Amino acid sequence: VSFRTIRDLLRHLWREQKWFFIPFILILLVIGVVLAATSGAAYVAPFVYSIF
């Protein structure tokens, strides 16, 4: 995870007046970090499907 990329993405969303995506993307990023931290590649599909 690159903080520069996260910062640039958030700036892009703000500039494009799509700020309402910011909480959405932050939640997704947290999920991504959790999956990465738990080596959860094998769980990606059922985990994400169970939420969405």
Partner 1 sequence: VSAVLGVSCDYHDAAAALVIDGRIVAAVQEERFSRIRFDSSLPTHAMQWCLRFGGITAADLDRVVFYENPYAHQTRVMSWSLKTWPRGLRMFPRAMRSQLSSKLWVLDRIASSLGIDRTRVTHVAHHRSHAASAFYCSPFSKAGVLTLDGVGDSETTSLSIGHGDSLKQAWSQDFPHSIGLLYAAITAWLGFRVNDGEYKVMGLAAFGEPKFRSELGKVLRIEGDASFSIDVSYLGHLVDPDLGFGPKLEKLLGRRRSPSKPWDLADAEDKRYADIASSLQSLTEEVVVGLARRARAMAGVSELCMAGGVALNCVANALVAAEGPLYVHPAAGDAGGALGAAIIGAMELGDPRPEYLSSVALGPVPDTSRAADVARHLGFSTAYVDPVQEASDRIGRGEVIGWVQGRTEWGPRSLGHRSILADPSLPDTRDRVNRTVKQRELFRPFAPVVSAQSFGSYFEGEPDLLTPFMCTVRNVKPSVALAAVTHVDGTARVQSVDSGPLVPLLERLPVLLNTSLNAAGDPIATSEIDALSFLHARPIDALIIDDLLVTRP
Q: Which residues form the interface with partner 1 (CB under 8 A)? A: 1-2, 4-5, 8-9, 12-13, 16, 18, 21, 24-25, 28-29, 32, 44-45, 48-49, 52
- The minimum distance between CB 39 and partner 1, in angstroms, equals 13
Please say which residue, 38 or 48, places its beta carbon nearer to partner 1: 48
The per-residue DSSP string of 1-52 comes to --HHHHHHHHHHHHHTT-TTHHHHHHHHHHHHHHHHHTTGGGGHHHHHHHH-
- The minimum distance between CB 28 and partner 1, in angstroms, equals 6
Using an 8 Å Cβ cutoff, are 1 and 33 in contact? yes
